[in-house]
Amino acid sequence: MSESVSQAQKSDHPWIYLNDSFIPSRQNVFPVTTQAFNYGTGVFEGIRAYINTSGEQLNIFRLDEHLERLLQSAKILHLHGLPNAEELKKITIKLLQKNNPQENCYIRPIAFKQDLLPDAGFGVKLSGIRTGLTIYSLNMHAYAKQDGLRCTITSWRRIADSAIPARAKITGSYVNSALATETAQRNGFDEALMLNSHGNLAESTTSNVFIIKRGRLITPPLSAHILEGITRDTVIILAKRYLNLSVEERDILPSELLSADECFLCGTGMEITPVSQIDHHLTHSMKLNSISLKIRSLYAQVVRGELEEFNHWLTPVPSIEE
């Protein structure tokens, strides 16, 4: 994963948005005193845009939902004075028009605590600090391993909602994800599955988790200290509509996870990625006709505009001449 992401980052787009202006991405230099750099006090989103099946149109997938979550996360961190959802949408489209990508890409808005206002004293806080906003984009294809992930249940617990709000995508909380990923990979696995402080399954490091048991699709509830994933929501809707499966949102104990028939991860970056192994237990996720593979293929169709009834999830980026 890290290698392909770093390859993607080599093809950064030429323009970024920073505090009301579009500037060349080479210029994005922040002072070392930037509050979010010191304390992790920023919120962000990860959004993907896909070229449609006929190869003519770039569409941003579920942009409205991502921007709504960005603003909700911002509210929790008292990041005031941001553009509203409609304005953010226009800025995002304009950025992609300027960058004019010819392939699938990734969009990263970050709203953050920038610098102390004149009368604010030094320290860790959320008030008396100017809000900054940046959006950058880069080319990005599928980076997750396609032939089945090998996951481990990590000993790093998912941060409790009472410590850092789980439903907000806060930059600082990703230390938790980074530690879990690093440990899992050093131990020879691809990804980590994280339990919450109650010992139930929460999510993976940057994606939500589903298991399948006797044909039933099960995922941890929002009360399991998880991020309310937009891909998770997409899976629930597609499974119901096309596979006639209802989803049980309920706590999952590690023993149930280890005895699952199938398991997959889902997230904007991760897309739908079947898990072939959990610690030393093998799953059927990669078997022909598995539910995980069916959901992966439905997701690939919806993001490319092949499921017409869900085309309202796609925001087209008009070519600049229009």
* Interface region with ligand PMP, contact rule CB under 6 A, candidates 124-132, 183-191, 202-210, 298-306: 202-210
- Please answer whether residues 101 and 58 qualify as being in contact, where contact means their C-beta atoms are separated by less than 8 angstroms: yes
Please state the closest distance from residue 267 (CB atom) to ligand PMP, in A: 3
- 20-28, 80-88, 113-121, 200-208 -> range binding ligand PMP (CB under 6 A): 200-208
Note whether 42 binds ligand PMP by CB under 6 A. Answer: no
Q: Which of residues 230-289 bind ligand PMP (CB under 6 A)?
A: 230-232, 267-268
Q: Is 314 in the site for ligand PMP (CB under 6 A)?
A: no
For ligand PMP, the closer of residues 66 and 129 by Cβ is: 66
Binding to ligand PMP (CB under 6 A) within 47-106 occurs at none
Which of residues 15 and 205 has its CB atom nearest to ligand PMP in the complex? 205
Quick one: which of 208, 273, 283, 292 contacts ligand PMP (CB under 6 A)? 208
Closest separation in Å from C-beta 207 to ligand PMP: 5
Distances in Å between the Cα of 218 and the Cα atoms of 124, 196, 227, 264, 267 are 40, 17, 16, 11, 16
- Based on CB atoms, which residue is closest to ligand PMP, 134 or 206? 206
Tell me how far, at minimum, the Cβ of 175 lies from ligand PMP, in Å.
12
Under 8 Å between Cβ of 41 and 112: yes
Residues in contact with ligand PMP, total (CB under 6 A)? 12
Please state the closest distance from residue 18 (CB atom) to ligand PMP, in A.
22
Between 206 and 273, name the residue whose CB sits nearer to ligand PMP: 206
Are the CB atoms for 132 and 76 separated by under 8 Å? no
- Comparison of 129 and 207: residue with beta carbon closer to ligand PMP: 207
Shortest Å distance, C-beta 104 to ligand PMP: 15
Is residue 184 close enough to count as binding ligand PMP by CB under 6 A? no
Binding site for ligand PMP (CB under 6 A): 46, 203, 206-208, 227, 229-232, 267-268
